[in-house]
Amino acid sequence: MPQLFIFVVLLSWLPFGLAQAAPEPDPRQALLEALDTRSFVEKGQAIQRIIDSEQPQARLWLSALLEGHLQRLHDGRFVVIESTSGRDALIMDALSQEALGRVTRRDLNRISINNTLRNQLRSALALMDLDADDISLRRAAAERLIGEVDVHLAQRLPDVLITETDSRVGQRLALALAIYQVEQGDIRAVDGLAGSLHSRARVALNRAQQSEDALLAEAARQALLGIEQKLKLNRIAETLYFGVSMGSVLLLAAIGLAITFGVMGVINMAHGELIMLGAYTTWAMQQLLPDQPGLALLLSIPAGFMVAGLTGIAIERGVIQFLKGRPLETLLATFGVSLILQQLVRTVISPLNRTVVTPEWMSGSIMVNDALSLTLNRLYIMAFALLVFAALIYILRRTRLGLEVRAVTQNRNMARSMGIRATRVDMLTFGLGSGVAGLAGVALSQLTNVGPNLGQAYIIDSFMVVVFGGVGNLWGTLIAGLSLGVINQLLEPWAGAVLAKILVLIFIILFIQKRPRGLFPQKGRAAGD
């Protein structure tokens, strides 16, 4: 009897023990369950509960929901789509973030959202990123909010601005909030947009200018006038930047020609093809190192110099040395060489243009402000042109070759009488000038496609730079190249590209009527020719 009593008691307690041993439901699952409803209002409430929950996976869920990647399997599990391939999807568990492999689209049920929920999600994600410790995340979030602030964000942003420590994030958030306030008709916020060059700020002010509120419209108009003045200054700065970068290209293309023309008096019509060979050398190096475009570009600098330089020496030894003192025959002969080189490239490589990959460290731009950005590839080319110019100045001023070059340039007969081998100097000088043309091709490969006709676009401009600056004078070539680049860039907006070149040519013709020897005339033998 006592044993029976004990057995009955144990049976009566068993359901309670089982109930206590049963695991508690995962609160994260409940948060996701609330999203699986047809009511968008209830989904919005569920999204807010996820935001307030401060779960570590909250951002992942909200981001996936915004992108349509938060879905549910038929067995009830919530998953996040990592990638798709045709009808298959690679998924992971939304709670544990464990990879679950691939499933078909038919195995998934999508959780739909509308535009109101998308705005709510964007705002929530932005606020989450603004609370992140990573400053790059905060800056990116602040940038995204410009022009996208809604009423919920407008209530939260003042508190975020108080606690924000990064000045750049604070400026962008203040701009975003001011745009929203101006669009709501707040005249006090117009001062926050005055002077801003961001396009969304101008859009907000233009709308405010059409407002029925006369005071708001006038304040917006005054702010737009100030912004327009700043925009003009930035356009001028951008034009000057492109002009100087174009002048740097002209400097690289012309500086080698200035050396050979100044020392030997040779009009080398194949100079453009030497530029082309430098560009094709860059393309060939990238074919050898397809996965390392940066290393290939760096190796192309000495390789392009050697290829173009050796080709120039071959032209001087094979053609030019037999035509010294006969400029017309030299011009025609080098023109024939240029045609041969073009056809050789078409036959061996291809008549089609080739694309040279720009390394990652040369891609992109430096944002000075919202209206002015400086492209990195042109900035690097400007620096490269100055380095090449400095190297040539050093060679001509500090080396024995430079001394002999200057001696032959000033008086060839006297240099020969002093024991200088003028023939050897001619060969090395032509090789040096041709090698620099190859360096110009390496630089140009980062600005345009590489093709057989690449050099033809720069040969005439190169001669204009040499004549304008003074034959054989490197400093004159530097000033002339930069000046013509800026002048051409200033003329193009209102005259067009073709007419701008014509006007530059007319300017040079008129200039050499007054100064036939250029800005910096050469002394010695070249001065009398």
- What would the pLDDT profile of 331-356 be if each residue is shown by its tens digit? 889 999 999 999 999 999 888 888 88
Tokens 């907000």 -> residue: 204
Domains delineated in the chain: 24-113 (no CATH), 239-365+372-528 (1.10.3470)
Tokens 């206590």 -> residue: 20
Nearest to 81 by CA among 37, 111, 46, 51: 111
CB atoms within 10 A of CB 18: 9
| Tokens representing residue 203 in the block | 């859009």
CB-CB contact of 189 with 160 (8 Å): no
pLDDT at 344: 92
CB-CB contact of 516 with 276 (8 Å): no
In one-letter notation, the amino acid at residue 247 is: G
CB-CB contact of 220 with 191 (8 Å): no
In the chain, what's the furthest Cα-to-Cα distance? 139
In one-letter notation, the amino acid at residue 69 is: H
pLDDT at 24: 58
Determine the Cα–Cα distance for residues 340 and 334; give it in Å rounded to an integer: 10
Determine the Cα–Cα distance for residues 214 and 218; give it in Å rounded to an integer: 6
510-522 pLDDT, tens digit per residue, is 888 888 777 776 6
- Walk along the chain (529 residues) and give the pLDDT tens digit of each residue: 555 555 445 445 545 444 444 455 677 788 888 888 888 888 888 888 888 887 788 888 888 888 888 888 877 788 888 888 777 888 888 888 888 888 887 888 888 888 888 888 887 888 788 888 888 888 888 888 888 887 878 888 888 888 888 888 889 889 988 998 898 888 888 888 888 888 889 999 999 888 888 889 999 999 999 999 999 999 889 889 998 988 898 898 888 888 887 667 778 889 889 999 999 999 999 999 988 888 999 999 999 999 999 999 999 898 888 887 787 888 889 999 999 999 999 999 888 888 888 898 888 888 888 888 889 989 999 999 999 999 988 988 888 888 888 777 777 778 888 888 878 888 888 889 899 999 999 999 988 889 898 888 888 888 888 888 877 678 888 888 888 888 888 888 777 777 888 888 888 888 888 887 777 766 544 444 4
Average pLDDT, the chain: 83
pLDDT at 25: 63
Who's near 151: CB < 8 A, 6+ residues apart? none
Determine the Cα–Cα distance for residues 192 and 403; give it in Å rounded to an integer: 63
What pTM was computed for the model? 0.76
pLDDT at 11: 47
CB-CB contact of 376 with 387 (8 Å): no
Determine the Cα–Cα distance for residues 186 and 256; give it in Å rounded to an integer: 62
| Tokens representing residue 154 in the block | 């407008």
| Tokens representing residue 100 in the block | 């679950």
pLDDT at 15: 52
pLDDT at 19: 45
| Tokens representing residue 163 in the block | 């606690």
pLDDT at 388: 92
pLDDT at 22: 46
Q: Is the dihedral of CA 455, 461, 464, 465 positive or negative?
A: negative
**DSSP designation for 321:** G
pLDDT at 23: 52
pLDDT at 5: 52
The helix (run of H) or strand (run of E) holding residue 43 is: helix 40-53
Instruction: Using alpha carbons only, give the angle 484, 485, 486 rounded to the nearest 5 degrees.
Output: 90
Task: List the beta strands (DSSP E) in 334-409.
Answer: 365-369, 372-375
